[in-house]
Amino acid sequence: MSEPEGRSEEGWGGGRAPEASGRHSMTGRRARLFGRGPAVPGSRQTDPEAADASPVPVAEAERAAVSPPAPAIALTIDALGRKCPIPIIMLAEQIRDVPLGAVVAVLADDPAAYTDIPSWCMMKAHEFAGYQELPPGGWALYIRRRL
């Protein structure tokens, strides 16, 4: 077999493929991910000998999340029980009825609305201001009108 023009074994990292040299040249992030490099600073150690050294602080993600208070709502759209794309259509029709900077709450229980409404906000240059889970199921999705 002939090699492609301009490419030789030397062109692929100093003459040898990593398999031929018997070692892998992983550096940086890939090496840490695959356990061949230095540990990431602040990472948890699983070595039993190192467990006695010092306790590792609890990460932010492991703390109990406290949901922020809901913003002041100018309009609530009840789309519970409606399937995609009806919640977005209802939002698109009614968001013009609120002043700029006001917040619209869309109540929806369709999983597609949970992902589609933030995407719609980005496409239409509105601000997705967050969400809260509803006790009976579903979400209250908050949209701040920007245009």
Domain ranges of the chain: 10-62, 73-144
Active site residue ranges:
84
Please state whether the predicted TM-score (pTM) of the whole model is above 0.75.
no
Cβ neighbourhood burial of 139 (10 Å; 0-12, 13-18, 19+): buried
Beta strands in 34-126 (DSSP E): 73-78, 103-108
- Positions in the chain short of pLDDT 50: 3-4, 6-22, 24, 37-45, 48, 50-51, 58-64
Dihedrals phi, psi of 58, to nearest 5 degrees: -70, 135
Residues whose CB falls within 8 Å of the CB of residue 100, separated by 6 or more in sequence, listed in order = 145, 146, 147
pLDDT of amino acid 29: 55
Candidates 93, 102, 97; CA nearest to 126 is 102
CATH code of domain 73-144: 3.30.110.40
Percent of the chain with pLDDT over 70: 52
pLDDT of amino acid 43: 43
pLDDT of amino acid 71: 75
pLDDT of amino acid 147: 84
